[in-house]
Amino acid sequence: MNAVDIMVRKAESMAKALERRALAAEQEGKLPAETVRDLSAEGLFSLVKPAIYGGKELNAAAVLEVCAALGKGCASTGWVACVYNVHHWIAAMYPDQAQGEYFGQDDVLSSASFAPSGTAAPTEGGYRATGRWSFASGIDYADWCFLTARVDEPRDGDPAGPYFLMVPAADYHIDHDSWQVSGLRATGSKDVVLDETFVPIHRALFLPSLLSGTSPGSRIHQGPLYHMPGHPFLVAVLATPVLGAIQRGVELFRDRIVERRFSHTGQRQAEQPAAKVALAEADACVTAARVLLENTFIAIERLVPGASPLQHARISRDTAFAVQLLVRAIDVVFENVGGAALQESNPIQRIWRDVHAAQAHAAVNWNTQALAWGELSLDDAN
């Protein structure tokens, strides 16, 4: 059994416990501390963490398999695990000094917000940053947060544009009242606030260099994992917990069809052709989405710095389309499972809400990604 299979087995073995904790986690609006401890102890947050800092240093596909397995138990848990994992990869893209500070903490965890909703101005030794950033998943347990700030007047010789700031928990404020949502509740994706916060220069990374695979870390780490462009990877991972959640939703639907009898006729739902067709459609959507995502992660691992915009756009397009397929699958389930699925204790209604919440993420918006790929494809043909 290889290293990835071992980690997947660990994730699969925890799925039932995560499902039992999911309702309480949702009501609390964050993962239980017990869940964070358990996953950390099993190394399930260290899939792409550099080996020199005690990580597994596996491949991008490991995130797909492990976070999908966790998502079968709880979509929010799979989502936060995905976030914690890929942020170790992000930290590995920073200069040596920043990496030493970040990975110097035992069991370090971090959150992030990519929208450039704050600003930073140069000052002696670094930047002063101010702003409010939303959707910082897993922030309650984070030791650091990566925040994108616009730099309009950069330091001498530096480019203007978005910078990714690595900020320790002591230097930001969490707005605990900012996360009142209908789906992915247990991700605890709250707002983070900075007010003239100092960020030293070594913790400020020009965002395009991270996304294109030309950041300082790609010159420090030799493994192929740290030489691929970041943008496609950071987009595709968002579909992984959704895949697992809907796999579980289809399993629950199948069980429900077998058990359910209609009170007015006494007929078993399993005897209805419509139920069989619905099950087939939902299962086929999940199967197609998994194949598409597996191929997408293979493509990500083959990308090199300088890959064409069309190659990048195809990965984002395929990820968004996979999410479309998964949404269709859970919609079919929800439309056919009956009123019992509306009970708060029934995982199917939570899966339905979580999946639609995930679909709302800008990075997997179908219209945006399809349009971007279509324009580049036609430009390339001219």
Is residue 151 pLDDT above 90, yes or no? yes
pLDDT given at position 294: 97
pLDDT given at position 213: 82
Q: What is the average per-residue pLDDT within 125-136? A: 97
Is residue 270 pLDDT above 80, yes or no? no
Share of the chain above pLDDT 90, in %: 85
Question: Which helix (H) or strand (E) element contains residue 165?
Answer: strand 161-168
Q: Is 178 exposed, middle or buried (0-12, 13-18, 19+ CB in 10 A)?
A: middle
Is residue 102 pLDDT above 80, yes or no? yes
- pLDDT tens digit string along 311-345? 999 999 999 999 999 999 999 999 998 887 888 88
pLDDT given at position 345: 85
Structure token digits, residue 284: 């086929």
Residue 366 burial (CB count, 10 A): 15
Tell me the pLDDT band of 71, cut-offs 50, 70 and 90.
Answer: very high
Q: Which of 41-45, 46-50, 306-310 has the lowest mean pLDDT?
A: 306-310
Report the half-sphere exposure of 160 (CA within 13 A, side-chain side): 2
CATH architecture of the domain with range 110-206: Beta Barrel (2.40)
Question: Domain spanning 3-104: which superfamily?
Answer: Acyl-CoA dehydrogenase/oxidase, N-terminal domain (1.10.540.10)
Question: Which helix (H) or strand (E) element contains residue 112?
Answer: strand 110-123
CATH architecture of the domain with range 230-381: Up-down Bundle (1.20)
Alpha-carbon distances of 331 from 183, 310, 351, rounded to whole Å: 15, 31, 10
Q: Where are the domains of the chain?
A: 3-104, 110-206, 230-381
Tell me the pLDDT band of 382, cut-offs 50, 70 and 90.
Answer: low
Tell me the pLDDT band of 264, cut-offs 50, 70 and 90.
Answer: low
pLDDT given at position 262: 67
The amino acid present at 219, given as its one-letter code, is: R
Is residue 60 pLDDT above 90, yes or no? yes
Tell me the pLDDT band of 140, cut-offs 50, 70 and 90.
Answer: very high
- pLDDT tens digit string along 11-26? 999 999 999 999 999 9
Q: What is the average per-residue pLDDT within 279-302? A: 97
Mean model confidence pLDDT for the chain: 94
Q: What is the average per-residue pLDDT within 254-267? A: 75
Q: What is the average per-residue pLDDT within 177-206? A: 97
Is residue 224 pLDDT above 80, yes or no? yes
Distance CA 60, CA 47 (A): 8
